[in-house]
Amino acid sequence: MARRSHVESRREVMGGLAKGLGVIRTFTREEPLLTLSEVAVAADLPAATARRCLHPWEELGYVTRSGRGFLLRPKVLELGAAYLDSMDIESLTRTSLEDLARTTGDSAALSVLDGQEIVYLARASVRTLMRLEAHVGSRFPAYPTSMGRVLLAGLSPARLEEYFAKAKFEAFTEHTVTDPRKLRRLLEECSRNGYAAVEDELAYGVVAVAVPIFDQANRVVAALNISGHSKKIGKAKLARQRLELLRDVSRSVSRELAHIPSLARSALI
């Protein structure tokens, strides 16, 4: 009886934590100010539950009120900063990615897979004219991105099946591949060729090519890409011109990431 009570209590705590984090994720750049009812709808929670989740965040200084709405406070950056600090990702931004961006004139980025999305851990650019701007912490669906496809191609069969069971495939442009069968073929092609290239799939005007980053056990733990303007260069030409350089940098970054245990462990989760 005591053990059952402990298990139920632990489930309640974990469930509350998951709901609380889900509430924080409802705030976006497009909708930074949300009312209680909007938070509840976005988090798929009853209004009373959403209120209970917001209260501790507000008490701890992560959320504040503005009239009838709620806003994230700068303190929330501490949550992501702890992860980035643990990896010393700044050194990668300052060296490998900045050198890559400077050499090519393109944007360079490093990301990891988190559920059905990719998360930018580092980015460097010598210009800021992209149709779709990204920054450290930006999240995008994995399936229409070059880095996302590289990361999905590196998953175990079981984890890939889990991804396809949970992911929702939305068309962002007329070129977005949303057919699961075609996506699977593209991932198989990525596995064979060791890279992925996309053009105008996540947003018009964006073309990118990505390669995997490996840990010491040769598992894919991150992805590295170069992106540019699709009106200036197509994905096939971008891959021809940048692929070998990307792979050289990938090998260098992979050696650096071998000293970051948190990324290596993430490949097993």
Q: What is the location of CATH 3.30.450.40 in the chain?
A: 79-266
Q: What is the pLDDT of residues 103-142, one digit of tens each?
A: 888 888 999 888 899 988 888 886 655 555 677 778 899 9
In CATH, which of 3.40.630.30, 3.30.450.40, 3.40.50.1100, 3.30.310.50 is domain 79-266? Answer: 3.30.450.40
Average pLDDT value for residue range 165-175? 95
- Confidence tier at 82 by pLDDT (50, 70, 90): low
**What is the residue-averaged pLDDT of the chain?**
82
Q: Which residues contact 255 (CB under 8 A, 6 or more apart)?
A: none
- CA proximity to 105, closest of 250, 258, 248, 241: 241
Q: Is the pTM of this model over 0.75?
A: no
Q: What is the location of CATH 1.10.10.10 in the chain?
A: 2-72
Average pLDDT value for residue range 198-213? 94
> Using CA atoms, how far apart are residues 238 and 249, in angstroms rounded to an integer?
16
Average pLDDT value for residue range 87-113? 78
Domain 2-72: CATH class, spelled out:
mainly alpha
CB atoms closer than 10 angstroms to residue 83: 14
